[in-house]
Amino acid sequence: MTRLLIIGPPGSGKGTQAGQLARHFGVPAVSTGDIFRSNVDRQTELGNQAARYLDGGRFVPDHLTNALVKDRLLERDARHGFLLDGYPRTATQATELDAMLAEQGHALDAVIELRAPDAELEERMHQRAREQGRTDDTIDVFRRRLDLYHRQTHEVVSVYAGRGILVSVNGSGDPVGITALAIAAVEQFLTAPRPPS
């Protein structure tokens, strides 16, 4: 089975693409947002701890996020493959993910990076705010999120690029076309001969 990770800036359609790619490769889409919500709703011990941060509008700290992700990846449906969305966000979390997978004798097969110009991402955000009436999609909030993405996630992208498992995909344009591009790029990567390690 396939173990994938998708990375992309806010507004890149990462959630949509994660769902489509997960369906194509026959693995569950695993997003940190879903993990948080599920644990909070079920009032698990970790969920109750996370709720204290979420209710206060604060980031859930790494040690707690790591524990929640580890629990999710041990569930039956994710044991033989998954597509991670929203984790890792930092190089430290990437190291923790390596350790989680190594404990099970696994490693990531590929990391999909969605790329799109900041100006296009900003326009998408405007459109979403108009269509959905979202008040959190202000220019200032979006630019802060984008800046945070560029500063934190750049390290994560560099880590996976250095390992030779990064697959960059043009995230501009029509979502259906982006899905087709991403599937083709990942399949080509996964079937390409690997140099001996």
List residues with catalytic annotation: 14, 89, 128, 134, 145
6: β partners: 85, 112
Query: Burial letters for 115-149: b for 16+ Cβ neighbours within 10 Å, e otherwise?
Result: ebeeeebbebbeeebeeeeeeebeeeebeebbeeb
Instruction: Measure Cα distances from 1 to 4, 7, 126, 165 in Å.
Output: 10, 20, 38, 16
Distance CA 121, CA 12 (A): 6
> Does 14 belong to an annotated binding site?
yes
> Does 115 belong to an annotated binding site?
no
> Does 76 belong to an annotated binding site?
no
> Does 124 belong to an annotated binding site?
no
> Does 86 belong to an annotated binding site?
yes
> Does 191 belong to an annotated binding site?
no
> Does 95 belong to an annotated binding site?
no
> Does 65 belong to an annotated binding site?
no
- Give the strand order in the sheet containing 82-85: 29-31, 82-85, 3-7, 110-115, 166-170
Tokens representing 158 are: 């560099």
> Does 149 belong to an annotated binding site?
no
Annotated binding site for ATP: 11-16, 128, 173
Binding site residue list for AMP: 32, 37, 58-60, 86-89, 93, 134, 145
Q: Which residues does the annotation place in the binding site? A: 11-16, 32, 37, 58-60, 86-89, 93, 128, 134, 145, 173
